[in-house]
Amino acid sequence: MKKHKTKHSDHLVAPLAKARGLGSTHHGSGQWMAERVSALVILPLVFWLTWSVVHMGHDYASFTAWLHQPLNALLMILTLLPMFYHSAYGVIVVIEDYVHGTAMRFISVYGVKLVSLVLTIISVVSILKIAFTG
Domains of the chain: 29-133 (1.20.1300.10)
Identify the pLDDT of residue 7: 54
C-alpha 65, offset from chain centre: 30
User: How confident is the model over 40-89, as pLDDT tens digits?
Assistant: 999 999 999 999 999 998 899 999 999 999 999 999 999 999 999 999 99
Identify the pLDDT of residue 9: 56
Identify the pLDDT of residue 12: 66
CA 92, CA 108: separation in Å to the nearest integer? 8
pLDDT of 128 strictly over 60: yes
CA 20, CA 109: separation in Å to the nearest integer? 26
User: How confident is the model over 16-37, as pLDDT tens digits?
Assistant: 666 665 555 556 678 889 899 9
